[in-house]
Amino acid sequence: MTPLRQQMDQAMVLRGFSARTRKTYLACVAALAKHYHRSPDGLDTREIQAYLLHLIEERKFAYASVNQAVCAVRFLFGAVLARPGLALSIPMAKTPKRLPVVLSRAQVASLLAHARNVRARTLLMTTYAAGLRVSEVCALQLRDIESAPERMCIKVREAKGGKERYTLLSPRLLRALRAYYRLARPRRWLFANLKETGPLDPKTAQRMYYAACRAAGLREAAGIHTLRHSFATHLLEAGVDLPTIQRLLGHGHIGTTMRYLHLAQSRLSATVSPLDLLESPTG
């Protein structure tokens, strides 16, 4: 590890960045250095902006990926190299606003029924039933399942931004988890890797999801994060209020949760068009 890379990583540790964010930021800065075959601390604004344009026009990166690179460069120059003026001159790319894909309840049931084995089915069921991110479900430990009758919740330790939270533990999910435990006998992590030396790789969880989608004939379903979107939307359709859904999802701002208002089909279909409120013309 180069001294600059180590310095940047230590700066992120001091600020409480998650391991995933640190890895992403370091990879973004390393890609910038590789592009110019020079240390990034010797680059100027023009060169960095040209690199961002290269990512968009030639590499065809999504705007979200370009935004990650911008944030990483801003942190490097602002927090590590103490040159905030250079970082602030880099504009943030605008991310197109697209509504997330949501599965119907019948589609979720079909997906779970077509999981390739008990382990995959239990992982997908847990992801949906608790509204978890893929990194969160993979990081679950046995001690995080609080099944006492007065508790009945799941503690999410590896949440985004390093924040812990509690989410739902339904009786049906608890029965499925107990059946899975009797079969798999996990020791620490609920879904461990093959050697049981650490948690399951999120990429493996994604493959489980895609395999179930193919088997169920769900061709338009997006990644496993779709189960989290479906969890929130189905709760909203069932009448759960937005602040409660916000806490279950771990959103920092209610505005992030409000996008599910656009996805709740029951609310859309129950809304009366203003045309139907007009009085019919007489005569």
- Using one digit for the tens of pLDDT, what is the confidence trace for 103-139? 999 999 999 999 999 999 999 999 999 999 999 999 9
Whether 94 is catalytic: no
What is the spatial distance between Cα 157 and Cα 165, in angstroms, rounded to a whole number?
7
Whether 225 is catalytic: yes
Mean of the per-residue pLDDT values of the chain: 87
Burial profile 159-180: b = 16 or more Cβ within 10 angstroms, e = fewer: bbeeeebbbebeeebeebbeeb
Instruction: Catalogue all structural domains in the chain, each as residue range(s) with its CATH number.
Output: 3-88 (1.10.150.130), 105-268 (1.10.443.10)
Whether 229 is catalytic: no
What does the block give as tokens for 2?
A: 């180069």
Q: What band does 159 get if pLDDT is binned at 50, 70 and 90?
A: confident
Whether 46 is catalytic: no
pTM exceeds cut of 0.75 = no
- Active-site option among 160, 165, 207, 259: 160
Whether 260 is catalytic: yes
